[in-house]
Structure 1
Amino acid sequence: MKKVIEAIQLLKEEMDEPVCSYIYDLDHLKEHVESVTRTLPENCHMYYAMKANSEERILRTIYPFVKGFEVASIGEVKKARAINSNVPVIFGGPGKTDNELKSAILENVQLFHVESINELKRLTMIAEQHNKKVSILLRVNLRGPFPSATLHMAGRPTQFGIDEAQIEEAIQLALSYESIQLEGFHFHSISNNLDNKRHIELIRIYFQKARHWSEKYEFTLVYINVGGGIGVNFSDLDQQFNWEHFTGELKQLIDQENMSNVALIFECGRFLTSSCGYYAVEVIDIKENHGKTFVVVCGGTQHFRLPVSWQHNHPFGLIPFEKWHYPFELTAVVNQEVTIVGQLCTPKDVFAKDVSIDQLRIGDVIVFLYAGAYGWSISHHDFLSHPHPQHTFLETESILNA
């Protein structure tokens, strides 16, 4: 955090405008991703879910430590190939067009996650047209029930995967096509799970379902994609998913379920990148309305949509600055509750509501923590046409601005 504060102080000195910047600690990112991947069991492979953050500097930092990239569009395929022309890519998403399927085939995508029987038929037709044989995993929307989590992709009606009630039809269809190589299954049932023990039990369900289907229809189970879904605790940053305990129990589970000969794919996104990112914004106004105090920052949810999207108060820190160049009194709040908002013309532009502040002044900088995933990447950048934030990448002995 020290070098992040130093970078913000440097921005404050150098800029004529209020601070508004994403800051990424690439040294932390390297250490974290290396630690996560190093502790995986031998037959497990980590793919980075690019949707969480596809900034080129982020991808290049992660690339040496992961098996490949998980993508959800042909645009993301191209971003992956820009990092390395031969990097393994697995292609998911519930709405792939014919052109995307064709382009992905020609890009030699390693695996397709097939999301419907209709998509399977279209993929088969396109593969036949190009005289290609493509490897697939069938994405299964299991019936559940599953552990509690912030988001559910299965166990209830969603647009994701093939209903478990239809999966045997899909298996038989896939096995009947010469241009399709069925390699296994993709399960991604929940997202932002914080309980490592419940996650193990979820993966046990995946193992048992995949084994049953592969044995019943007599095909080799090469891969099981267990998804991502490992969460970040924004309410208590000190109580995060216990990855060390999880991987220890995962090794035991692999032995218990006799899965050591199957390649197990993880496709984590936020768990890898969230903690490396910061969104730093300067306070430009403090005002009261109807008995509530509002802190207005230079920025908004058009830059950092995650808090309003998930309806939580995002964790933050404060950096005080003494400089004040106006002839009138500096406005400050002391020991009271405030709501932190952005510049947008909508009451939805909220980062944190009714949070306690010891002291905060106009000109201070608020730093939103754990902003490295689903921040800039999911935001509506050009709403109201405000300037984009600066992107600063911190690496040992260098600061790179984009």
Structure 2
Amino acid sequence: MKKVFEAIHLLKDEKDEPICSYIYDLDHLKKHVEFVTRALPQNCHMYYAMKANSEERILRTVHPYVKGFEVASIGEVKKARAVNSSVPIIFGGPGKTDKELASAISENVQLIHVESINELKRLAMIAEYLNKRVSILLRVNLRGPFPSATLHMAGRPTQFGIDEAQIEEAIQLALSYQSLQLEGFHFHSISNNLDNTGHIELIRIYCQKAKQWSRKYKFPLIYMNVGGGIGVNFSNLEQQFNWELFTGELQKIIVQENMGNVVIIFECGRFLTSSCGYYAVEVIDIKETHGKTFVVVCGGTQHFRLPVSWQHNHPFELMPLERWHYPFERKAVVNEKVTMVGQLCTPKDVFAKDVSINQLRIGDVIVFLYAGAYGWSISHHDFLSHPHPQHTFLETEIELKV
């Protein structure tokens, strides 16, 4: 936090306006991603899920440590290619247009994750027209049951993947097309899972299903994409997903299920970048209404939508700033519960409700932690046309890049 607080002081010196900035610790990001990828078994490859955070500096920092990028649009393909023209790309998403499929083929993406039988037919037709043979994985919406997690993409009615009841039809159809090369399956059933033991059992199910279909329809199983889904515990930052324990158990699963010759793909986003990011906002007002104390900050959920989207109180640190240039008393709250809100004209613009604080004054800064994933990237930036936050990247020595 020392590096982040120093950066905030520099920002305040540079421009004496209320602080509103994303701050990314790229040194921490490098160290974390290197640790995550180094712990994986030899036949496992990590792809970075760009949807979590596609800022160019983030992509360039992550790129040396991962196998490639997982994308869900042609726009993300172009961002990936801007970082490296030959970086491996796997392309997914439940609503690919013909133009996107053709562009993915022309961009030579490594694998296309096919999400429906209709998409399979369209892709085969487009690939044949372009005289290309395209490598694919079939995304399977398994029937479950699965471990508990924040989000489920399978095991219940969702728009993701091919229903397990239809997967054998899809396999036979895929194998009938000369323009397609079926190389395995894509399973991504849950998101933000904090149970490393449950996640191991989920991967065992994936292994058994993939092997079963590969044997029955006599095609080589080259890849098995087990998705992302590794969670971040926003309620207790000290108790996170145990990656070392998980990867140790993963190695045992690979041996037990005889999967050593299959490339197992992970496509993590949140787990890689969340902890490197901070959303720093200055308190511009403190007020009481109907017996509640509200702290209003310079910013809002148009910048950082994650807390209201997931309905949690986001973790934070308080940073006092001693500057006060008004001639009247500086308002403060001491040993109270407060609700932290933004500048938007909606009661849903909330970061944390009824949280206890020791002391907070107008002009101090609230630094929301673990804001490096699904923060800026999922937010409705131009709602009410407030200014965008600054984006500050810290690397080795404090370096301000806005």
| Aligned 1:9-48 pairs, distance under 5 A | 9-48=9-48
C-alpha offsets along residues 235-284 of structure 1, whole Å, 9 cap, x if unaligned?
Answer: 00000000000000000010000000000000000000000000000000
CA distance in 2, matches of 1:397, 1:348: 38
Match of 1:82 in 2: 82
| Aligned 1:188-227 pairs, distance under 5 A | 188-227=188-227
Contact 2:3–2:398 (Cα < 8 Å) also in 1: no
For the residue of structure 1 that corresponds to 2:140, the secondary structure is: strand
For the residue of structure 2 that corresponds to 1:304, the secondary structure is: coil
Match of 2:184 in 1: 184
CA distance in 1, matches of 2:356, 2:13: 28
1:334 maps to a residue whose letter is: V
| Aligned 1:2-401 pairs, distance under 5 A | 2-401=2-401
For the residue of structure 1 that corresponds to 2:207, the secondary structure is: helix
C-alpha offsets along residues 41-65 of structure 1, whole Å, 9 cap, x if unaligned?
Answer: 0000000000000000000000000
Percent pairwise identity? 85
C-alpha offsets along residues 18-46 of structure 1, whole Å, 9 cap, x if unaligned?
Answer: 00000000000000000000010000000
1:68 maps to a residue whose letter is: G
CA distance in 1, matches of 2:13, 2:286: 22
1:214 maps to a residue whose letter is: S
Aligned-residue offset at 1:16: 2.4
CA distance in 1, matches of 2:60, 2:89: 15
CA distance in 1, matches of 2:125, 2:75: 22
C-alpha offsets along residues 352-384 of structure 1, whole Å, 9 cap, x if unaligned?
Answer: 000001000000000000000000000000000
Aligned-residue offset at 1:398: 4.3
Aligned-residue offset at 1:102: 0.4
C-alpha offsets along residues 309-367 of structure 1, whole Å, 9 cap, x if unaligned?
Answer: 00000000000011111111110000010000000000000000000010000000000
CA distance in 2, matches of 1:172, 1:398: 56
For the residue of structure 1 that corresponds to 2:226, the secondary structure is: strand
For the residue of structure 1 that corresponds to 2:119, the secondary structure is: helix
Give the TM-score normalised by the residue count of structure 2.
1.00
1:339 maps to a residue whose letter is: T
C-alpha offsets along residues 197-225 of structure 1, whole Å, 9 cap, x if unaligned?
Answer: 00000000000000000000000000000
CA distance in 2, matches of 1:280, 1:311: 20
For the residue of structure 2 that corresponds to 1:259, the secondary structure is: coil
Aligned-residue offset at 1:400: 3.2
CA RMSD of aligned residues (A): 0.5
For the residue of structure 2 that corresponds to 1:285, the secondary structure is: strand
1:238 maps to a residue whose letter is: E
1:393 maps to a residue whose letter is: F
Aligned-residue offset at 1:397: 2.2
CA distance in 2, matches of 1:207, 1:400: 46
2:397 maps to a residue whose letter is: E
CA distance in 2, matches of 1:212, 1:60: 39
CA distance in 2, matches of 1:315, 1:262: 39
C-alpha offsets along residues 72-100 of structure 1, whole Å, 9 cap, x if unaligned?
Answer: 00000000000000000000000001100
2:374 maps to a residue whose letter is: Y
Contact 2:307–2:314 (Cα < 8 Å) also in 1: yes
2:285 maps to a residue whose letter is: D
For the residue of structure 2 that corresponds to 1:227, the secondary structure is: coil
Give the TM-score normalised by the residue count of structure 1.
1.00
Aligned-residue offset at 1:11: 1.1
- Unaligned 5+ residue runs, structure 1? none
1:333 maps to a residue whose letter is: V
CA distance in 2, matches of 1:2, 1:136: 46
C-alpha offsets along residues 98-152 of structure 1, whole Å, 9 cap, x if unaligned?
Answer: 1000001000010000000000000001001100000000000000000000000
Task: Name whichever of 61-70 and 317-326 sits farther off.
Answer: 317-326
For the residue of structure 2 that corresponds to 1:401, the secondary structure is: coil
Contact 2:7–2:398 (Cα < 8 Å) also in 1: no
1:16 maps to a residue whose letter is: D
CA distance in 1, matches of 2:10, 2:332: 23
CA distance in 2, matches of 1:9, 1:279: 14
CA distance in 2, matches of 1:398, 1:342: 28
CA distance in 1, matches of 2:195, 2:225: 19
1:223 maps to a residue whose letter is: Y
Aligned-residue offset at 1:14: 1.8
For the residue of structure 2 that corresponds to 1:400, the secondary structure is: coil
CA distance in 2, matches of 1:397, 1:233: 29
CA distance in 2, matches of 1:14, 1:184: 53
CA distance in 2, matches of 1:20, 1:258: 52
